Amino acid sequence: MGAVWIDLTKDTYGIHGAPEPKLVGKTASHGCVRLTNWDARQLGGAVKKGTRVVFMGSQNPAKTTA
């Protein structure tokens, strides 16, 4: 895991930075969203606890809270 962890309400799911940016989008994950560390830091500074998170891209978007 990288420099930032944004915990989501679903157990073991989160948004985090990646220690090796070249692996973002290339390696398998068990429910996490990997960003570069600099993007994860920026996102972490832009949200607060309770921010609603919606994952788009499927017929049934997943909803959770940060």
Active site residues: 16, 32
> From CA 33, how far away is CA 14, in angstroms rounded?
6
> From CA 31, how far away is CA 12, in angstroms rounded?
7
Quick check: helix, strand or coil at residue 64? strand
